[in-house]
Structure 1
């Protein structure tokens, strides 16, 4: 890949210092003064790069690897060529994520779009009743409504619209084109471009004349600390209760979360997931891409839901589910194996006939 001017290399971190910060063990103390400046995949890593190895499946990629250092478990260290220094750690994936934060801090949250890196742009509109703590940045064309409160160190990108009465905590990043209303947002929250928070939930009652009558949505959205919400994701406000996204949860792009949904702490929700209204999702739940969850159900703590699953009923804590309708993973895989076998048998029978 050609030089990336969007994310230039770090000035350099010594391997000895990096190992200490990551809690890793430097395999060769003679390499302590070597410097890494960037992260890279194994197959195209060059001098100055750091990469990581998770399994023996990556052995072939090491043939073209010229990295300065590689993070891996001690069981994989023998696979690494002699010219590459090994940083030993049983949690290489986590250590690589932490190293990325050290070497590419600017990539940890969306950057400023304009060159204005302080204060309120004269091309933004801030209602006179809004209260902004020191060191809040508001870029051009943003609109901040009446009685909004925004905490110190928060960045408001261009074209953002923040509705009346919204509260946003400290050190948040609200990216270009995001829309927020009827919401209370904690500290260190990241909203990526186009995220929409606090709009009407989908609620209608039958009309005696046919058609549907709108049910008012008068709840809020509460987003706790350290949540990250992807581009073009939508989170509806509650009907009368609140929609809640728990601390540390990470939500991908193009996710839809309905009214009154409660998502627990430290969940991972991948792109295209849809969660219907009044569903409760426990702590530490992982939901694969394009899965759909029915309304008014409960997903227990630590549940894992496979991509493209259709969840129609409660799932007990700690279970792994997949398929349509979603069922325990062992049952889903058995059903897939049986269907595959029947299909193959039909093909064989057809060939003979």
Structure 2
């Protein structure tokens, strides 16, 4: 794994001139950078990224080699004697991209030869020269493997599946038959892409009859699928994860669902069949969506939201059944006062009874 940079600030700025959201170096082009560090443990020689302006003073006191901050904050700071100041349009994005470039994990570092001898690869499959295949991985008939793909140990690629360039599939994961994985995706261990959709018919005695699920799953580009995920194949067409979706660990998405691009699904996400999200939907932990429901763009689901009907207006929704955040906060505040309200009601009831008795007398 790469842990050191050993370049000057000027060299780093030149290498990251395009696409890294850096604007300019205010000072210190000749300062040497050893590695990238966090704001709380940085030291001389480190490159550090600061998104929160409140942390700048404390970080400077640690005297790192270089500090990346928002352009407006860089202008306030000006040149510094011991720390190079680098202005960025978005320090968080610069941090992510520069970590990938300089100190990311190398998924080819398993220590084995490029294609492990225990791997089982069907004779019809063409393996590009830069593909890495780990122990006991199985690739079935007609699968297509793109350039730069890494398949770690015990991965199964079923027949006619397609794996896009630069994608990494970690240990014990399965890509089902005819499913398609886009470019530069990351699939963490023990996930199943294209598992059998949960489709059954019942007779008058409630005996179950399996409905074959013969569609596929299509994963877009730059998608991350966490560990222990199950994404079911469609009944006829496709279950879709659009470009740049990130899905946390232990999530389930059922058959024929469609996840809009740039969405975030956190741990415990569950979506029943034939439901759909728009773009940039954020689902916090344990959010659940009923079948045949649509969620529009720019929705945030919090507090274990349970979506049982279409959401047609962007905003934040909470609780089950889901409700707009403003209503949820109001209702929850009222809920916390139910005990006091019950006492007041009991007292009022007593007073009314006394008044009625007095009136009758």
TM range (shorter): 0.7 to 0.9
**Equivalence for 2:102:** 103
Task: Give the conservation status (yes or no) of the 8 Å contact 2:21–2:93.
Answer: no
- CA deviation profile, 1:91-127 (whole Å, cap 9, x unmatched): 22112212212321x33xx613632353x22111111
Corresponding residue to 2:286 among 272, 279, 290 = 290
Residue 260 of structure 1 and its aligned partner are, at CA, apart by 0.5
Q: How does 1:170-185 map to 2 (within 5 A)?
A: 170-182=165-177, 183-185=179-181
Residues 207/39 of structure 1: CA separation in 2 closer, same or farther (3 Å cut): farther
Give structure 1 stretches of 5+ with no counterpart: 1-5
Question: Is 1:276–2:272 an aligned residue pair?
Answer: yes
Corresponding residue to 2:69 among 52, 68, 72 = 72
Task: Give the conservation status (yes or no) of the 8 Å contact 1:186–1:226.
Answer: yes
SS of 1:131's equivalent in the other structure is coil
Give structure 2 stretches of 5+ with no counterpart: 345-361
CA RMSD of aligned residues (A): 2.9
Question: Is 1:166–2:165 an aligned residue pair?
Answer: no
Q: How does 1:7-156 map to 2 (within 5 A)?
A: 7-15=2-10, 17-18=12-13, 20-21=17-18, 22-26=20-24, 28-29=26-27, 31-56=28-53, 58=55, 62=59, 65-73=62-70, 76=73, 83-104=82-103, 106-107=104-105, 111-112=107-108, 114-116=110-112, 118=114, 120-156=115-151
Task: Give the conservation status (yes or no) of the 8 Å contact 2:171–2:189.
Answer: yes
**Equivalence for 2:347:** none
CA–CA distance in structure 2, aligned partners of residues 214 and 238 of structure 1: 14
Residues 163/25 of structure 1: CA separation in 2 closer, same or farther (3 Å cut): closer
Residues 61/237 of structure 1: CA separation in 2 closer, same or farther (3 Å cut): farther
CA–CA distance in structure 2, aligned partners of residues 117 and 287 of structure 1: 41
Residues 82/320 of structure 1: CA separation in 2 closer, same or farther (3 Å cut): farther
- Aligned residue pairs: how many? 338
Residues 73/136 of structure 1: CA separation in 2 closer, same or farther (3 Å cut): closer
CA–CA distance in structure 2, aligned partners of residues 346 and 38 of structure 1: 60
- CA deviation profile, 1:129-185 (whole Å, cap 9, x unmatched): 223333222111101112222122211111111112212222221111111112122
Larger radius of gyration: 2
CA–CA distance in structure 1, aligned partners of residues 149 and 193 of structure 2: 17
Task: Give the conservation status (yes or no) of the 8 Å contact 1:298–1:315.
Answer: yes
CA–CA distance in structure 2, aligned partners of residues 63 and 333 of structure 1: 40
